[in-house]
């Protein structure tokens, strides 16, 4: 009896070890076969340099993950404008987006601290402030369920219009495009005496053609890529703000990516964003020249006109701080800006 029971126990123990061994042996193979697809949408046009860079990022992610991670792209606004993309990310029908400032602000408006009108004189000054502020912004985004994989920008925003705009008073007489759904921005423009017309970004071309709007704040790159300048052929040479952007993924989707691959994939995304930023900035002069050859008129400002724009922007700062940018983020950005200026950063870069 004792022998029979001992034999049965030994047999069960051996069976248990065998099952554990088989499970351990198969686990790496099963893990290696796991596939993750992340769906990313963006407004950038298909075939543009930005779209090409995202395609290259997708290829890089495939290689770095050994085929475990696929990045599927939806360019050209097929998933809607940035507000639609963020909403779909929250619903889980999209996982990621290459977003402009307005889209990132749909997650948290603190990002507008880097887009305060005429607060930064040069790229160098903005970059120095952004380097200090980015960790706090990324923490805020993570708390809200989003991971910022890389920061980019589309260059300086200028005003494009159907007729010349030299001063803020000229712009007040025009119908100015603003991002649909951004009520604080609309309120801010109205309070400053302007005539904002909130619309989805996907409707800008139609709105310009029909006269629904006749002016818009945008970058030279966007104006030439999307051909907006053909309907708004006057560009005011004022550096209003930098069009910030970023590669953002939901925390839930990012955690589907095997942990061992995340650092390399995040590094690739950061490098892509940095390369896009640098390429865009270098190309600005060429973009403006290309549009000028096709009918664009650049409205240059003298010192008095530029001072008028700066005064108009700074006069709105109390309201900007109140309704456009959270006070804590506004104050932190301005503190960092003063630190940068005292340290002599910011130079004369454009």
Mean pLDDT in the chain? Answer: 90
Size of the chain, expressed as the number of residues it contains: 350
- Average pLDDT over every residue of 322-327: 92
What is the number of other CB atoms lying within 10 angstroms of the CB of residue 76?
A: 17
- Residue 194 and residue 212: Cα distance in Å, rounded? 15
Task: Find out whether 152 and 274 touch, Cβ atoms under 8 Å.
Answer: yes
Enter the DSSP assignment of 174: S
Task: Please check whether residue 216 is in contact with residue 102, taking contact to mean a CB–CB distance below 8 angstroms.
Answer: no
Closest to 241 in 3D by CA, of 149, 326, 130, 338:
130
Poorest-pLDDT segment among 19-23, 124-128, 218-222, 264-268:
19-23
Q: How confident is the model at residue 345 (pLDDT cuts 50, 70, 90)?
A: low
Annotated domain spans of the chain: 35-342
Residue 92 vs residue 16, higher pLDDT = 92
Confidence of residue 350 (pLDDT cuts 50, 70, 90): low
Classify domain 35-342 by CATH architecture: 3-Layer(aba) Sandwich (3.40)
Question: pLDDT tens digits for 175-206?
Answer: 999 998 889 999 999 999 999 999 999 999 99
Taking residues 329-334, what's their average pLDDT? Answer: 98
The structure's pTM equals 0.85
CA distances for 20 relative to 11, 24, 25, 28, 29, angstroms: 14, 6, 9, 14, 15
The pLDDT, as a whole number, for residue 5 is 42
């Amino acid at each position: 009896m004792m022998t029979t029971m001992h034999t049965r126990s030994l047999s069960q123990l051996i069976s248990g070890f065998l099952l554990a061994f088989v499970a351990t042996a198969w686990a790496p193979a099963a893990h290696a076969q796991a596939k993750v697809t992340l769906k990313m949408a963006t407004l950038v046009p298909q075939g543009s340099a930005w779209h090409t860079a995202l395609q290259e990022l997708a290829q890089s992610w495939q290689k770095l993950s050994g085929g475990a991670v696929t990045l599927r792209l939806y360019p050209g606004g097929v998933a809607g404008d940035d507000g639609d993309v963020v909403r779909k990310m929250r619903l889980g029908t999209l996982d990621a987006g290459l977003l402009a400032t307005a889209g990132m602000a749909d997650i948290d408006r603190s990002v507008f601290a880097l887009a305060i009108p005429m607060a930064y004189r040069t790229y160098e000054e903005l970059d120095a402030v952004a380097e200090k502020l980015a960790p706090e912004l990324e923490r805020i985004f993570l708390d809200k369920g989003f991971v910022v994989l890389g920061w980019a920008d589309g260059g300086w925003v200028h005003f494009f219009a159907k007729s010349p705009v030299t001063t803020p008073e000229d712009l007040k007489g025009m119908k100015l495009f603003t991002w649909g759904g951004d009520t604080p921005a609309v309120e801010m423009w109205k309070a400053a005496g302007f005539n904002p017309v909130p619309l989805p970004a996907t409707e800008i071309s139609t709105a310009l053609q029909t006269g629904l709007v006749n002016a818009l704040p945008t970058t030279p790159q966007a104006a030439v890529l999307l051909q907006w300048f053909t309907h708004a052929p006057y560009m005011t040479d004022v550096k209003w703000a930098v069009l910030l952007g970023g590669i953002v993924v939901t925390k839930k989707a990012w955690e589907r990516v095997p942990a061992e691959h995340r650092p390399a994939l995040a590094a690739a995304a950061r490098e892509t964003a940095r390369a896009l930023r640098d390429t865009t900035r270098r190309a600005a002069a060429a973009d403006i020249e290309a549009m000028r050859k096709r009918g664009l008129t650049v409205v240059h400002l003298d010192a008095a006109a530029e001072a008028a724009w700066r005064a108009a922007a700074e006069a709105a700062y109390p309201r900007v701080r109140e309704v456009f940018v959270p006070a804590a983020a506004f104050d932190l950005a301005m503190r960092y800006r003063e630190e940068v200026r005292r340290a002599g950063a910011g130079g004369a870069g454009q």
